Amino acid sequence: MATWDQLAGLPVQIDGYSLEGREQPMGPDFTRFTTLITLNGGGEEGVGEDVVYDGLDHVALQEAGQVHDLSGPSTLGELAELLRESQPNLSRQAAPLRQAGLLAERKQGTRTLVRLPVEALSDAVVRDAVAAGRELCEADGSLARVADIVRGRDAKTREFFAKARSAEQLGLAPELPAYLAAFGALLSRRALAVDAGTGDGALLDLLAPVFERVLAVDRSSAQLERAALRVKQRGYQNVELLEAELGDAALTQRVGEGADVVLAARVLHHAPLPRVALTELAALLRRGGKLLVIDYARHSDEQLRDAQADVWMGFEAEELLTLSREAGLSEPQVFPIQQSLTAAAMDGHVGWQLLVASRP
Quick: pLDDT tens for 102-159. Answer: 777 777 666 666 677 888 888 888 888 888 878 877 776 766 766 776 777 788 788 8
* Nearest C-alpha neighbor of 281 from the set 294, 298, 293, 272: 293
Q: How far apart are CA 273 and CA 263, in angstroms?
A: 18
130 within some domain: yes
What pLDDT, on the 0 to 100 scale, is given for residue 77?
45
Q: Which residues of the chain have pLDDT under 70?
A: 1-10, 29-30, 51-94, 108-114, 140, 142-143, 145-146, 149, 164-173
164 within some domain: no
* H helices present in the chain, as ranges: 3-7, 55-64, 76-82, 87-99, 124-140, 145-162, 176-184, 204-207, 221-234, 249-255, 274-283, 302-307, 317-326
What pLDDT, on the 0 to 100 scale, is given for residue 175?
81
The verdict on 71 and 107 lying in the same domain is: no
What pLDDT, on the 0 to 100 scale, is given for residue 86?
54
Kindly provide the b/e burial profile for residues 171-193, where b requires at least 16 CB atoms within 10 angstroms of the residue's own CB.
eeeeeebeebeeeeeeeeebebb
Domain carrying residue 78: 3-82
Q: How far apart are CA 38 and CA 12, in angstroms?
A: 14
Under 8 Å between Cβ of 266 and 296: yes
153 within some domain: no
Q: How far apart are CA 281 and CA 328, in angstroms?
A: 11
The verdict on 214 and 253 lying in the same domain is: yes
The verdict on 268 and 282 lying in the same domain is: yes
What pLDDT, on the 0 to 100 scale, is given for residue 251?
96
CA atoms within 13 A on the CB side of 77: 9
- Looking at the structure of the chain, the number of domains it has is 3
Prediction pTM value: 0.65
Q: How far apart are CA 333 and CA 231, in angstroms?
A: 32
The verdict on 248 and 103 lying in the same domain is: no
What pLDDT, on the 0 to 100 scale, is given for residue 29?
67
341 within some domain: yes
Total residue length of the chain: 360
